[in-house]
Amino acid sequence: MAAFAVIVTVLFWGSAFTGIAIALEAFAPGPLALLRFGTATLTLLAVAAVRRVSWPPRAALPRLVAISLVGITAYHLMLNFGQQWVPPGTTAILIQTAPVFTALLASRFDGADVSRRAWAGIGIALLGTVVLVLGRGGDLAFTGGAALIIGCAVATSVYFVFQRPLVAAHGVQAVTTWSIAIGTLPMLVFAPGAIQQWSACGALAPKIAVIYVGIFPAALAYLAWNEAVRRLTAARAMVFLYLVPLVTIATSWLWDGSLPTATSLLGGGIAMGGVVLVNTERRRRG
């Protein structure tokens, strides 16, 4: 089940960047975030109603609200706005520092034992991402907006480490539904712009892209990823995110025919090697 959850997440999150790029042709970053997570919220609430998922107990609300505002609201707004100033290549590299922050937080607050072999695997996978981005001709420039992208990496690490006790107590579906719904509420400030831009958008592709990234890379992928984190621990699961750029390359090729370079493929292979190193370490120690 954990392997299936990881595969689903990597495939959906890898395709999200192409979907977001298409949606940004018609929608500004703030309205896009609201439209995406509004769609995700409606999807999850519909499923929760059918499956009769209960509302969170009062005792869980402080932690739940905190991780939602950090991991959903702050993460996605910082990412959307940060990409206005930070080149895609720089963004792709900086966002992949999330497993490093996750390992640090998990070792401090979640009781995770991050071995030297695991740290080596994380480092190798990060190196592979850098090579992959450079191979795609990524534009590297560490502008002031880079701090927003680093903030994204920290925010998503906080979310996945500190949601684990909630998932253990209340279940994956409940915590995912609550956190995305709560994290979407502050985005309602963009509602006027979202309504206006949706009405003004005459092209079908951006609207389809919004619905796609809301249902699949948001609602379903977060469900799958929270399940993976529950089974594997946050530090180990996050290493698999180094495979996301490979899926992004594949979806870009399907969308606009851009072929990967040999350097990109080499970088992807290095990243996969790092992931394998971390996860075979578990079996050897077991």
Q: How many independent structural domains does the chain possess?
A: 1
Residue in this structure with the two tokens 């089974």, named with its chain if needed: 231
Give start and end residues of each alpha helix (H) in 52-145: 61-68, 75-82, 88-95, 98-109, 116-135
- Residue 47, burial from CB neighbour count under 10 angstroms (0-12, 13-18, 19+): middle
Whole-structure pTM value:
0.79
What would the pLDDT profile of 2-11 be if each residue is shown by its tens digit?
A: 778 888 888 8
What pLDDT, in 10s, does the model give residues 54-113? 888 889 999 999 999 999 999 988 887 876 676 555 666 677 777 777 877 877 776 666
- Cα 236 versus chain centre, distance: 15
Return d(Cα 140, Cα 125) in angstroms, integer: 19
User: What domain range includes position 50?
Assistant: 2-285
Which of 149-158, 174-183, 243-252 is predicted least confidently? 243-252
Contacts of 138 (CB under 8 A, 6+ apart): 87, 88, 89, 90, 92, 93
Closest Cα partner for 206 from 60, 68, 27? 27
User: How many residues are listed for the chain in this entry?
Assistant: 286
| Contacts of residue 85, Cβ cutoff 8 Å, sequence gap at least 6 | 143, 144, 145, 148
Q: Give the closest residue to 244 by CA, choosing from 233, 252, 254.
A: 252
pLDDT digit string (tens) for 12-67? 887 887 788 789 889 998 999 999 999 999 999 999 999 888 888 889 999 999 99
Q: Which of 139, 137, 90 is nearest to 259 (CA)?
A: 137
Could you tell me the two tokens for 78?
């910082």
Q: Are 135 and 267 within 8 A, CB to CB?
A: yes
